[in-house]
Structure 1
Amino acid sequence: MLKTLIVVTFALALSSCGFHLRGNLPLSQFPAIYVQSEAHSELAKLVSKRLSQNNVQLLSSMQADAPSIQLVSDTLERRTLSLFPSGQVAEYELIYKVSYYVIMPGAEPAFNQFELYRDYQDDPNQALAKARELDLLLSELRQQAANRIIRQLARLE
């Protein structure tokens, strides 16, 4: 009896604090949304996919009574962290910068930006493998950026 009471109390406390599993965010305040970006933007595709997974209808054009996300830019920069004794770059820091607006009906556009960081070890002797690793890191950074945009949307009222 005591174990059941503890489990029920824990479940009630957990549900009352607003806890949700990742990927299942409460986006009920956004029944439909428009995502605007540059043509062929990988980040826009990922954001649209995440919105669809959360049961948000994607609009094909901007509407005055529906919110929109305008992806301004997503850029990747590299900063040298260390060098080999020969002077070649041994390690980079990758900086993925994302800037976007959230435009709610009847409100001023809200500008948001953030940066994601990763370290990347370069090896000129394995250029093909390192190029593939860089592509995978960039894909991972885009996925994290899309998830972060969705989490920030979920916090809006």
Structure 2
Amino acid sequence: MNDVELFLAHAIQLEREAARRYEELAAAMQTEGNAALKVFFARMAHFSRKHLAEATARGGFRELPVLRDDEYDWPEGTSPETADWVGVDAQMDPRQALALALGSERRGHAYYAAIAATTSDLELCGLAGEFAAEEAQHIVELEKLIAQHTATA
């Protein structure tokens, strides 16, 4: 990808989906009775909404393309935030919720990092690199929580 506007259109969609997924996980953990994970997932939804606002603001002075679902250029044909998404239900335990979130964050990071590594556009390289770094921080947080959960289980 070598077009900043196209990248931002993809980033906006990806972060919108991430926020929805984290909101679903927060609700599931509330049902599960796991207040700590409910708060964590709600915080992650907030961060995704913040990233969405940042991407939208960066596109504010640009004319971003409006894409239909089939016009997005996602790895494996589906958004990194929805790939392997099996949905959330009241039976989902904390381990499953964390694993699901970690998979999404890893795919999101890989998506942004691949763009940063392959684009010939310097502005886009910087933007994608920033988004990849944010996703990397989320991965670290999730891995710590998984380690804590595994140690206490």
Which structure is richer in relative contact order (CA contacts within 8 A, separation 6 or more)? 2
TM-score normalised by structure 1 residue count = 0.27
* Structure holding more helix per residue: 2
Larger Rg: 1
* Structure holding more strand per residue: 1
